[in-house]
Amino acid sequence: MEALMLTLIFLPFLWGLLIFLVDRVGFTRTVFVEQVLLSGLVFWLLRQGEVSLVLGGWPEGIGIELASGGFGRLFLIMTAVAFMYVYSYLWHQHQGDHKLFLFLGMLQGALYALYLTRDLFTMYLMIEVITILASILILYERDAVSVRAGLYYLIFNSVGMLIFLIGVIALYTEVGTLNLTRIHAWFGAEAAAGVALSVRARFALACFMTTFAVKTASFPVGGWLPVAHGYAPTFISALLSGLVVKSGLFLYVNVIAPFGSSMGFGITLVLGLCAALYGVGRAIFQTDIKRMLAFHTVSQVGLMVIGLSMYLADGGLGGMVHAFNHFMFKSLLFLAAGALARMYGTRNLTRIHGVMRSNPFLGVAVLVGVLAISGAPWMIGSVGKTLIKYSVADGLLTPAVVRWVTYALALINLGTAMSFSKWIAMLFGPREKSMKLFGGKAFAIGMMTVLVVVLYPLEVVVLGLDPLYKLSSEVLTYLGYVGAALGVYWFVLRDKPPWAVQLGRFVPDVEMAFFGMLVLIGGLHWLLVLG
């Protein structure tokens, strides 16, 4: 068991290194064999149920513990799927670029290690390694915009992780262990004894919350995400937006939620709402196809954060299910956006027309992605959104708060539909030219399209949902959002009013972004430690 778990972590790295050293395209093809092997290992691990072991045969609490269980299993599946589509998508253009395979292999190994470890410091280490590798991959094209995006990503995320390290120190001095199982048990025992969190524990919580806000690109520290995800190579954008950004959510479930602080959950709810509204508000006015998707990531992650803040009501189920589904459809949308940009020679949404006629395969993929992200009934996007909506209603909030959160959720859905009405407009129109997708890209996009479609019935069965529950009202609500969104697009945004163009181009000052971080650090510590 130990050897197989370690294989999952080290095989991608060693295989990447081997590809780099051999430096032959023929050998590079074996990366697909490696991915099948890794997927098999993940499948085998999932079949074992809850697994936990301490490396090197050390007693628990001394050695590093690896475990597969809970929501971590969703992340293992996501990682396996993500690298399958990444290698397929990049194959045609980058098959001779062996350095890229080395970095991607290291990233995959670090992601598996992060999702398997039960050790707080190893978690910090893996997130830092992922940050460094993600920065290298963002700047991979080595042009001015990529380097700028990579540096912005590196600095913001590294500062966030430094705050996390301070939190680790504070928690270690309080609890005396870095083992998450023991830390959870310690918090459980304290809560059962009715002991309130000590100042040191609250200080650690404030540090972890700061890192969580930075990693999930919450308002006001989310400025790095549209810059980084918008200008990275397409397959990296898909990987970052689909998978890597969710490491913050993984931190939340494993590190923040066990504190059981009601103030912490309240702050998370506010952070999530701000991020969701800010992201969707900015996305509406974007014309750059990838930047728009990046702003939608901010918004959708905000939605997941709202779901996770209802942890006491549903154990974070809504947020995590939406994270899993978002990975699927956002990856699909990013891959499709990259293919469209390359085909049409532009990333400007308003210059792309007639996709359905030019390439029906891509048109269907885009349509499936748009329906999923806008929460259409019987698509995976609706599952997480519905779970979050009901967890808010059934949660421990006052009726007034529930009402306001419900209004905000409706506004977010309306904004998402409004923003993606531009994508619908892109599908129709005269055929511009005949365009073909190359094998690997077509496979990656096709695979994600099929997954987005077939996952809905699977989730219905696994989660025990009733697909007909309130269906007529859900359909009517969805059609209402789409109608309102199309109306606003047609009458207000179609002619590109100057104010909308200005709003789309607005770039917050870097000093403002850093200042936002300081306000967040100060605010969280004030509320959680002194409040």
> What is the separation of C-alpha 33 from the centre of its chain, rounded to a whole number of angstroms?
27
The DSSP line for 107-123 is HHHHHHHHHHB-BHHHH
Site string for other proteins, 18-47 (x = CB under 8 A): ------------------------------
Residue 347 in the binding site for other proteins (CB under 8 A): yes
Count of other CB atoms within 10 angstroms of residue 57:
8
Beta-bridged to residue 288, according to DSSP, are 348
Q: Which two tokens stand for residue 239?
A: 């990987």
Among 185, 263, 270, 341, binds other proteins (CB under 8 A): 341
Residue number, 32 or 172, with CB nearest to other proteins: 172
CA distances in angstroms from 92 to 74, 86, 147, 437, listed in the order given: 29, 11, 24, 10
> Binding of other proteins at residue 440 (CB under 8 A)?
no
Q: Count the Cβ atoms, other than its own, within 10 Å of residue 388.
A: 26
- The yes or no reply on residue 361 touching other proteins (CB under 8 A) is no
159 part of the interface to other proteins, by CB under 8 A: yes
Q: H or E stretch including 53?
A: strand 51-54
Among 189, 518, 526, 530, binds other proteins (CB under 8 A): 518
Lay out the site mask for other proteins across 113-152 (x = CB under 8 A, - = otherwise): --------x---x--xx-xx--xx--x-xxxxx-xx-xx-
Using rule CB under 8 A, residue 173 touches other proteins: yes
Q: How many residues bind other proteins (CB under 8 A)?
A: 49
* Minimum CB distance to other proteins smaller for 233 or for 415: 233
- One-letter amino acid for residue 200 of the chain: R
State which residue, 74 or 232, has the beta carbon closest to other proteins: 232
CB of 422 to other proteins, least distance (A): 17
Q: Which of 37, 46, 64, 165 binds other proteins (CB under 8 A)?
A: 165
338 near other proteins, judged by CB under 8 A: yes
**Contact call for residue 530 and other proteins (CB under 8 A):** no
CA distance 31 to 86: 11
Residue 389 host element (H or E): helix 380-394
Residue matched to tokens 């697009």: 489
Rounded distance between C-alpha atoms, residue 513 and residue 63, angstroms: 39
Q: Does 248 bind other proteins (CB under 8 A)?
A: no
Q: Are 203 and 39 in contact (CB under 8 A)?
A: no
Which residues, in sequence order, are CB contacts of 256 under 8 Å at separation 6+?
A: 205, 208, 209, 212, 264, 268
Residues that bind other proteins (CB under 8 A): 121, 125, 128-129, 131-132, 135-136, 139, 141-145, 147-148, 150-151, 154-155, 158-159, 162, 165-166, 168-169, 172-173, 178, 231, 233-234, 338, 341-342, 345-348, 507, 509-511, 514-515, 517-518, 521
